[in-house]
Structure 1
Amino acid sequence: MQLCAVCDQQAPKYRCPACQVRYCSVGCCKKHKEECKPQARPATAAAPEGRQPCAGAEEPLAVHDLLNEDDQTDAVPLPSLKQLGESEALRDLLLNPHLRRLLAAVDGAQNKAEAMKTAMQEPLFVEFADQCLKVVEPADTEIY
């Protein structure tokens, strides 16, 4: 996981549009502005209201900014994510309130790995995970 380039203590939430340095807070933004060395870069749209600790100088981080190389290899491409949203089989499974509670528990857990391990003991959750994988990584039709 990356750390703030200024304080080196917290995960960065923002990126300087002038030099691409990542930082975590208003204080770090101000400190960075004193030493910023801008790079030539095309202009971008302003950040949304309420997310402007450097007077509009930062951009929110994208997913690829938060993931290291190993995590990025496991990232699901956007078209596949859209297919998940369009899957009737997943939609049918999500009608089950028990599955929704399991998903909420995993999402809200402090220790996600442990929560996933527990959830994978539930046949309904395994069925959901399998269905997600079928959409994201469809099996090859050829047999080798």
Structure 2
Amino acid sequence: MSCIQCEQISKYKCPVCRQPYCSVPCYKTHKQTPCTPPDPPTPANESDDKEIEYDYPTEDTVPVEKLKLLELSTELKKCLENPHVREILEVLDKSPHPDEMMKEYMQEPIFTEFVDACLKVVQPQEDTDK
């Protein structure tokens, strides 16, 4: 990207309008005129009202309604406060073979705690004491 003032290669962006600049003098020149934050990106697909449909559902596919309940789980939120859990999830998300890595991570107690919290929401155990 090139500087909005002098066309040199920019290293920085204005914290308000996100326009590129290369140096303090160019930034000061830019700030002489008021700038405004960029418009937020508009979603390409406003499908919040539509129900998500799976391309290839199986008997193990979790219904969307149950997946939305994950947002409400305080136990799950507590698990996600742990940076190690978030790091594991990022690695799994980027992995070409997450199923293989999942077996490895299931040996880590912090990850199994996360998985158990998810399962409690999407697959609650029935009371067998009745």
TM-score after normalising by structure 1 = 0.51
1:108 positional shift: 0.7
Q: Does 1:64 align with 2:50?
A: no
Aligned residue number for residue 61 of structure 2: 75
Taking the aligned partners of 2:124 and 2:90, their CA distance within structure 1 comes to 26
1:2-47 Cα shifts (integer Å, max 9, x gaps): xxxxxxxxxxxxxxxxxxxxxxxxxxxxxxxxxxxxxxxxxxxxxx
Q: 2:72 aligns with which of 79, 82, 86?
A: 86
Unmatched tracts of structure 1, length 5 or more: 1-47, 50-61
Unmatched tracts of structure 2, length 5 or more: 1-43, 46-51
1:64 positional shift: 2.5
User: Match of 2:107, SS?
Assistant: coil
Q: RMSD of the alignment, in Å?
A: 1.9
Q: How many residue pairs get matched?
A: 81
Identity percentage of aligned residues = 41
Aligned residue number for residue 45 of structure 1: none
Matches within 5 A, 1:1-144: 48=44, 63-65=53-55, 67=56, 71-143=57-129
1:94-128 Cα shifts (integer Å, max 9, x gaps): 00000000111111111111111111111100010
User: Match of 1:114, SS?
Assistant: helix
1:78 positional shift: 1.4
- Bigger Cα Rg: 2
1:23-81 Cα shifts (integer Å, max 9, x gaps): xxxxxxxxxxxxxxxxxxxxxxxxx57xxxxxxxxxxxx6432x1xxx52111111111
